[in-house]
Amino acid sequence: MSDNPQEYELDWDVEKRLKLNDAGLVPAIVQADGTNEVLMMAWMDTHALAYTLATRRGTYFSRSRNEYWIKGLTSGNVQEVTGVALDCDGDTVLLTVKQTGGACHTGAHTCFDNDVLL
């Protein structure tokens, strides 16, 4: 299999249910298998979602770097994807993952650990 997410296409019956934003992306909520803890949120295009479904590796589209981002490829903090669901109106993806190491790019366990308002 290719290691380039761009080369992966979604099944049409999934793609037609997906509602992308103007940039061609959907938000992807990532939760931990077992505890359900919310680890991070990232963005996917159809190729990132197709690649994630095919390889079970959490893969996103980085809006700041404008490129695909296979989580853990450089940090080693990979995500083994064990579940993927669309929401009721197809504009959000929920991933369940077995996370190796910290999920946050800061190294923290989750992206929501450090700025608690309530």
Binding residues for a copy of itself, rule: CB under 8 A, are 14, 17, 27, 29, 31, 35-38, 40-41, 53, 56, 81-90, 92, 94, 104-106, 108, 111-118
Per the annotation, does 115 bind a ligand? no
Per the annotation, does 89 bind a ligand? yes
Q: Are strands 26-32 and 93-99 parallel, antiparallel or unpaired?
A: parallel
Question: Which residue, 20 or 108, has its beta carbon nearer to a copy of itself?
Answer: 108
Per the annotation, does 13 bind a ligand? no
Largest CA distance in the chain: 45
Cβ atoms 101, 109 nearer than 8 A: no
Shortest spacing between CB 90 and a copy of itself, in angstroms: 7
- Feature table: binding site: 87-89, 91, 104, 111
